[in-house]
Amino acid sequence: MDSRARGIDVSHHNQAVEWSKASAAGISFAFAKVSQGMSPANDDQTFTDNWQGMKDAGIIRGAYHFVGLPSPSTPRAQWNDDIHRQVDHFLALVGPLQLGDLPPVLDFEDGDSPARWKALISSDRAAALSIVREFITLTTTQLGTISPIIYTGNFWSAIASSGCSKRSVRVTPFTSCGWP
């Protein structure tokens, strides 16, 4: 095995993680899903167990929010209200970061509403970028000196990268592999 750090991301889609086994297998960091969009019904019910389990196993922990577009019924002038509710809810569930925790992640994917994301990006690129910027700005403001990590897939990488040149943007190839 090489010396690179190995990590995983987990959510309710996974079986219960045996964090001590993950650590023994060389997993040194992990991200756990916290929330998705605006609805508390989309909170990840495994987050609390995963958050504590990572800490107990000595795994560096991070938390992520699966970003949702503002509600279709929300007028564009009020989109920031929807964004603020998402960020406030996400950070409240995570609670204060502790020494050694990774910066929170804003996960921009189109899985929640691919047609709406595609339509927005193709029809109004500036509006799409304003959503990304508002999420980043508000999250950074609430965290003080900590900037969020931006995680995205190929559908968003060109627009996110061009609109967030001062930010680190991680584009995943979405591969899968086994883990304990």
DSSP string, 89-153: HHHHHH-S--TTPPPPEEEE-SSS-HHHHHHHHHH-HHHHHHHHHHHHHHHHHHHSSPPPEEEE-
Query: What pTM value is reported for the model?
Result: 0.84
Q: Closest by alpha carbon to 87, among 107, 115, 114, 62? A: 107
Q: What are phi and psi of 59, to 5 degrees?
A: -90, 130
Domains and CATH numbers, the chain: 6-171 (3.20.20.80)
Token pair 């991301």 is at which residue?
Answer: 9
Burial of 98 (0-12, 13-18, 19+ CB in 10 A): exposed
Q: What is the pLDDT of residues 27-51, one digit of tens each?
A: 999 999 999 988 899 999 999 999 9
Q: What is the pLDDT of residues 116-158, one digit of tens each?
A: 878 887 888 888 888 888 888 999 999 998 889 988 776 665 5
Structure tokens at 57: 């196993």
